[in-house]
Structure 1
Amino acid sequence: MHPLRLALLVRNSEPGKFGTVLAEWFAREVERRDDFKLDLIDLSRTPTADLPARIDEADAIVIVSPEYNHGYPGDLKTAIDSVRRPWYAKPVAFIVYGGRSGGLRAAEQLRQVFGELHAVTIRETLSFHQPTDPFTPDGTPQDPTTPAAAATLLTQLAWWSRPLREARTTTPYPA
């Protein structure tokens, strides 16, 4: 069976930003597995016109997002809305960060949006509270349970990805 194509969607991959450290660490976790092939999509560098095709090629999507004002950033909403049909019948997971909620309010709002886009959001979410120093200088999580949580997220994402890929291949989604 060929690997599942996993699109890792980040707002930007500027060196020194927490979202960049987080995305780089998670990309390494994905690359350790045989069941996924990673496609890192940096929204600050990917032309909006290219985004629908890259999401269409993906079997699963993980979105890395901060929480701003109890929600998620406007540029992420614009990117999501620019795609539409390629989101249909795709599993989506979230890695969120920021504030007292650890970004979970952003994840909950994103779940509502993706429900409208006929995507399947998985329950497992990676959440980082007050992200001042949750990673070592070499990009390793300080919390020893974080890699296991990432593995659980990826295992559930793979479980949803396989049957949904099969369904999309054999029967077009009826939306």
Structure 2
Amino acid sequence: MTVHPLRLAVLTRNLEPGRFGTVVTRWFERAVDQADEFKPDLIDLSAVPHPELADRIDEADAVVIVTAEYNHAYPGDLKTAIDAVRRPWYAKPVAFVVYGGRSGGLRAAEQLRLVFAELHAVTTRDTLTFQESDFTPTGHPTNPTTPPAATALLTQLAWWARPLREARAQNPYPS
């Protein structure tokens, strides 16, 4: 039996050069490329209309959201995009890579967990959190535990993604 790679949507808000979010996203994208289990689909919310976003989330086996923390929460444009997708989130595993503020973005992740619970998605327990000092100017993590933490997060996500992909294929998630 051939096991096909999992399709991983990596959802980010903006990939403009010089932004810390771009540094984090590009580093995480490289981490995903090193994991044999996933085929990444990088989605830049600033460049993708909501109907296309819904289709790409629907096609994904799992999703990672890369976002900043703003005012102890997550950005409004991310909430608008999440709400615009709706049904494709059902029975989909979601993980978070967050950054900013004293908490390294944890407050954004915790609030997003509430939103995704309402959307019948499954969020992973582990989250990657960063501040700007956690990366070199060339975009490499300064903490040697960061790459293994990314591997652990991707392993958890794959654990959820495979059986949920199978379940959605055999029996669509009830409304």
TM bracket (short chain): over 0.9
CA RMSD, aligned part only? 0.7
Gaps of 5+ in 2: none
Could you tell me which of 12, 15, 32 is aligned with 1:13? 15
- Tell me what 1:91 maps to: 93
- Tell me what 2:64 maps to: 62
TM-score (norm 2): 0.97
Q: Work out whether 1:157 is the aligned partner of 2:157.
A: yes
- Tell me what 1:166 maps to: 166
Give the match's secondary structure for 1:28.
helix
Query: 1:93-128 CA deviation, whole Å, 9 max, x = no partner?
Result: 001111111111100100000000000000010011
- CA distance, structure 2, for counterparts of residue 46 and residue 56 of structure 1: 14
Give the match's secondary structure for 1:69.
coil
Query: 1:124-166 CA deviation, whole Å, 9 max, x = no partner?
Result: 10011xx233212321100110001000000000000000000
For 2:60, give the aligned amino acid: A
For 2:110, give the aligned amino acid: E
For 1:56, give the aligned amino acid: D
- CA distance, structure 2, for counterparts of residue 155 and residue 57 of structure 1: 20
Q: Which moved more, 1:83-92 or 1:100-109?
A: 100-109
Residues paired across the two proteins, number: 173
Q: Percent identity?
A: 72
For 1:163, give the aligned amino acid: P
Task: For residue 48 of structure 1, report the CA deviation from its aligned partner.
Answer: 1.6
Query: 1:30-81 CA deviation, whole Å, 9 max, x = no partner?
Result: 0011110000000001112211000000000000111111100000000000
Where does structure 1 differ by over 3 angstroms across 4 or more consecutive aligned residues?
none
Give the match's secondary structure for 1:107.
helix
- Tell me what 1:100 maps to: 102
- Tell me what 2:55 maps to: 53
Gaps of 5+ in 1: none
For 1:8, give the aligned amino acid: V
TM-score (norm 1): 0.97
- CA distance, structure 1, for counterparts of residue 133 and residue 103 of structure 2: 16
For 1:76, give the aligned amino acid: L
- CA distance, structure 1, for counterparts of residue 132 and residue 56 of structure 2: 32
For 2:173, give the aligned amino acid: Y
Give the match's secondary structure for 1:113.
helix
Task: For residue 26 of structure 1, report the CA deviation from its aligned partner.
Answer: 0.4
Question: Is the Cα–Cα contact under 8 Å of residues 100 and 132 in structure 2 kept in the other structure?
Answer: no
